[in-house]
Amino acid sequence: MQSKISEKMIRIGTRGSALALAQAHETRERLAAVTGLSFDAFEIVVIKTSGDRILDRPLSEVGGKGLFTKEIEEALLDGTIDLAVHSSKDMPTVLPDGLIISAFLPREDVRDAFVSPSATSLADLPAGAKVGTSSLRRRAMVCRLRPDLEVVEFRGNVQTRMKKLEDGVADATLLAYAGLRRLGMETTVASLIATDDFLPAVGQGAICIETRADAAATNALVAKIHHPATAAALTLERAFLRILDGSCRTPIAGLARVVGDEIRFEGLILRPDGSEAHAVTRAGPVAEAEAIGIEAGETLKRLGGPDFFRVE
């Protein structure tokens, strides 16, 4: 039986990047506010993941999203930490046995930000300019909108990517605006890209908390900071992604929004070179979020066919 949560230090596992730490600190602040506990009651435990160590190859070549969660989930399972804080878009759609996503924090702005020292928008870049990104979704969407641009591989955390931009490795890059806001780096943004033009990654802008399914006291604690509307949107988006078998290997975008008692969804699949795309829109009761996501995923799977994501 787990001891009462107030009688021991609560260990929060996270990656060590500046953004991951900002998200862990936000979680700690929210937990302290609802429990009345001091910050000293929460220990932030930094865990280096495979995704942080492998920086010389695209994620699609070395294992995809699970590279950012594997070691943290192992620490959860062996009891080294009590809860883990993740970017939702890094989370695989199938979790290890015994672990659950027990809470979502209120979602930040979901848009992608265009960052460049020489241009104000993607449309302003001259033909042949280089856009740096490690995301297959962003790569495919750039190729779709601006096939005259060159897309180059751009791995690393936000600060690393900004340094590469400064060094001229690329003329522009695309980053999640939510992450830049959490880092206080909004002034680096040249422009924001409307979701109508650039649909975000599934889970973009949302922080999730992962725990052991049998950790009753911890789960009761994080329930106090759970945001139901974000959870409904992510339930739909993750169901959609699961049906499409989505990972860092596939260009998939999706965004669900809760409006009153209704949930509205837009989904998109693209060929890796942006040469073909299929879209779907759906709406229905919030209570049917998962079913709507499953049906939307199945629709796009049929439209794309079995070889849609194959790279020739």
The pLDDT tens digits for 100-142 are 999 999 999 999 999 999 999 999 999 999 999 989 999 999 9
Q: Which two tokens stand for residue 73?
A: 């989930």
Contact yes or no for 260/204 (Cβ under 8 A): no
pLDDT the model gives residue 29: 97
CATH architecture assignment, domain 112-193? 3-Layer(aba) Sandwich (3.40)
Q: Please give the pLDDT value at position 155.
A: 77
What pLDDT is attached to residue 16? 93
Domain boundaries, the chain: 1-105+206-226, 112-193, 227-304
- Asked if residue 218 lies in contact with residue 275, where contact means CB atoms within 8 angstroms, the answer is no
Report pLDDT for 127.
97
Give the residues of the chain that fall short of pLDDT 50: 1-4, 6
Burial degree of 148 (CB within 10 A; 0-12, 13-18, 19+) = exposed
What pLDDT does residue 2 have?
Answer: 41
Positions marked catalytic: 90
* Contact predicate 43/9, CB 8 Å: yes
Contact 276/270 with Cβ under 8 angstroms? yes
**pLDDT value for 185:** 95
d(CA 258, CA 250): 26
- Superfamily of domain covering 227-304: Porphobilinogen deaminase, C-terminal domain (3.30.160.40)
Q: Is the dihedral of CA 161, 184, 211, 81 positive or negative?
A: positive
pLDDT value, residue 236: 98
For residue 21, the cross-strand partners are none
List phi, psi (to 5°) of 191: -165, 160
Q: Place domain 1-105+206-226 in its CATH homologous superfamily.
A: Periplasmic binding protein-like II (3.40.190.10)
Its pTM stands at: 0.90
